[in-house]
Structure 1
Amino acid sequence: MNTFGWPQAMRIISLLFVTALIVLPLSATVMGGFKTPGDLTTNPFGLPRVWHPEFYAQILTDQSFWQYLWNSLYISVLTALLTLLIGSMAAFVFSQIRFAGSEFIFAYILTGLMFPFAAAIIPLFIKVRDLGLLDTPWGVIWPQVAYGLAFSILLFRTFFDQLPKELFEAARVDGCGYTRFFFMFTLPLSMPIIATVATFVFVGSWNNYLLPLIMLNGREGYTWTLGMLQFRGEYIVEWNKILAFVTLSLAPAIVFFLAAQKYIVAGLTGGAVKG
């Protein structure tokens, strides 16, 4: 019979503390969208004294809000798809094919995890400008793909290394080459890690602020992270509308993350131990 002791109590307290760190800021953001600026200043974390749903209604009826969401969705989906395709193919090569310098190249790619994104923003801006991609969605997509490859290749290779080698040997006996084996066998067996990488890349791209700020100049191409700047003027900041805007904009990413949660756990733990 299990007894409830201090280890279990400390575990519950730790989980409640972590949950509070996540839930309280989110609830304050949601509630802040229903408050007036004065109520938000005097009562930032409590329930609204008077509920004002018209702030949310104004944003939902604004055509620019949906344009910002569409721009973010377009950039995030393409970033995720390209990262999945390129990252999985590169990881398959490192996992299944042994060639001279493969470990050195793999280690060199992983060094990309050591450098912060902001460290290369100036040379990145110059390169994007020289390629003629400035103020276009591709000026944001390709840099995000490049910076997401190291993380995705690491996860994909760890997962691919756990796939049974006998499966590929049997496929080679039947005349199946690397390309056919990758698309017909490896990818269908890798749905957990695909969902994991796709979720991290999509959410990271959806919430990216610095890169769109540098690469996009025209308001018609703004993502939602730049769109909320319309509520910040020279002399006044409408924080209640900014919080409502952020709440509505984060909803798709949260729903996407919750829907893929079980696949994320399966993908992260799939290569943790060898069966």
Structure 2
Amino acid sequence: MTSQTARVVPALGARSSTTVGRRRPSLRSLSLPANLALTVTALLCYVPIYFMIVNALRGGPETQAAPFALPEAPRWENFVFAWQASGFAYPKTLMIVAVSVVGIAITTLASGYAFARTRFREKELWFFVIFGLLLIPAFITLIPLYVQIVDLGLIGTSWGLIFPYLAGGQALGVVVLRSAIESIPEELFEAAKLDGAGHLWMFARIAIPLARPLVIALALLNVVGLYGDYVLPSLVLQGADSTISVAITGFTPPALSPNLDSFNIQLAAFCLASLPIAVLVLVLMRYFVSGLSQTAVKL
């Protein structure tokens, strides 16, 4: 009996090792096309960035002759002209984005906590009403929104952008943060209630710290979206009070510069405008990835 068992066990081991050996090449053969596809996709995404940086350092005739060639003699003065044309818009743009993003974070956190940890009438109905806002395209509401901004007398003011930005960022934030706060273990809130803590204490000491990576991820998404917005700022703000995107697109070349160089100076302005977002993404990337994985698990 023992000898028969000894014969069977090596046979099974040989089969399993053979099976594993057969599976490994198949997995490797699948990973190679996947990595190749990801590499090609990444390169295609970086082609516009390469085009922008290379032509920001060139003149108009060089760009027309060879758009993707490296500059022979970099023209750093393009960045000087670009800053002179759009530098005035950075303080206002950063202020509008900062106030809007902080306001969205505070209000969506409070709303998400209310939906997750309190009881009130028609709670689920109101939640689905907010969720339904995600299904409405923004361009459908653009004309009614503009009319409302005009009626409120907010044309030409920063609040004409801040209030719509605050309202537009509520739906996604409330939906995501409600799910995140609901997934926090109930024992933490029960222990806090036994110690006499109220909702304000639990919100500040439990909900906010545990939802911080997700809040940072949502804030980064809002910063990228609001910083590069062009449609609404072009309707609300004009001239010296415009944001970066409007200032760059409305750029007129200096009198001493050839007409063809205005395109290159605009590209240099886009490079300068991209730097704050690039630095912010690099600094907060680990929080962004953590928040996205946290969202994927909890939703």
Between structures 1 and 2, the one with greater helix share: 2
Question: Partner amino acid for 2:225?
Answer: G
Assess if the C-alpha contact under 8 Å between 1:192 and 1:267 holds in 2.
yes
Is residue 200 of structure 2 the alignment partner of residue 176 of structure 1? Answer: no
Q: Structure 1, residues 41-82: CA drift from partner, whole Å, max 9, x if none?
A: 22222212332111112333x2x5332111110111111001
- 2:118 maps to 97
From 58, 61, 65, the counterpart of 1:42: 65
Q: Which runs of 5+ in 1 are unaligned?
A: none
Question: Following the alignment from structure 2 to structure 1, what is the Cα–Cα distance between the partners of residues 65 and 127?
Answer: 54
Q: Deviations over 1:114-152 (max 9, x none)?
A: 122222111111111111211111101111111111111
Whichever residue aligns with residue 222 of structure 1, its letter is S
| Residue among 125, 128, 139 paired with 1:107 | 128
- Alignment map for 1:225-236 (pairs within 5 Å): 225-232=245-252
Counterparts of 1:273 and 1:55 in 2: how far apart (Å)? 47
Match of 2:169 in 1: 148
Q: Which moved more, 1:202-211 or 1:10-19?
A: 10-19
Q: CA deviation at 1:232?
A: 4.6
Instruction: Give 1:222's aligned residue.
Output: 242
Query: Among 266, 269, 288, which residue is 1:242 paired with?
Result: 266
Pick from 87, 91, 108 the counterpart of residue 87 of structure 1. 108
Q: Look up the match of 2:290.
A: 266
Amino acid at match of 2:39: L
Distance 1:112 1:40 in 2: 44
CA distance in 1, matches of 2:212, 2:293: 13
Retained in 1: the 8 A contact 2:112–2:175?
yes
**Structure 1 equivalent of residue 18 of structure 2:** none
Q: Which structure 2 residues correspond to residues 128-139 of structure 1 after superposition, within 5 A?
A: 128-139=149-160
**Structure 1 vs Structure 2 CA RMSD:** 1.9
8 Å Cα contact 2:58/2:74 also seen in 1: yes
| Contact 2:214 2:295 survives alignment (8 Å) | no
In the alignment, the residues of structure 1 paired with residue 116 and residue 64 of structure 2 have an alpha-carbon distance, to the nearest angstrom, of 55
> Structure 2: which amino acid aligns with 1:26?
I
- Indicate conservation of the 8 Å contact 1:28/1:45, yes or no: yes
SS at match of 1:100: coil
Q: Aligned equivalents of 2:170 and 2:36: distance in 1?
A: 37
The TM-score normalised by the length of structure 1 is 0.92
Q: Among 12, 24, 28, which residue is 2:35 paired with?
A: 12
For the 8 Å contact 1:83–1:149, the answer to whether it is kept is yes
Residue among 72, 79, 98 paired with 1:77: 98
Residue 30 (structure 1) aligned to one of 53, 62, 72: 53
Q: Could you state the TM-score of these two structures normalised by the residue count of structure 2? A: 0.85
| Match of residue 195 from structure 1 | 216
* Aligned residue pairs, count: 270
Correspondence for 1:116 among 137, 156, 160: 137
- The answer for unaligned runs of 5 or more in structure 2 is 1-20, 254-258
Q: Distance in 2 between matches of 1:10 and 1:220?
A: 51
| Aligned pair partner of 1:213 in 228, 234, 237 | 234
Moved over 6 A (4+): none
CA contact (8 A) 2:104 2:166 kept: yes
Q: Secondary structure at the match of 2:71?
A: coil
CA–CA distance in 2 between the matches of 1:91 and 1:142?
20
What is the identity percentage for the equivalent residue pairs of Structure 1 and Structure 2?
26
Code of the residue aligned with 2:240 in structure 1: it is E
Residues 82 and 266 in structure 2, CA contact (< 8 A), matched pair in contact too: no
Distance, in Å, in 1 between the alignment partners of 2:73 and 2:244 is: 28
Deviation at 1:208, TM superposition (A): 0.4
Identify which range, 137-146 or 179-188, moves more after superposition.
Answer: 179-188
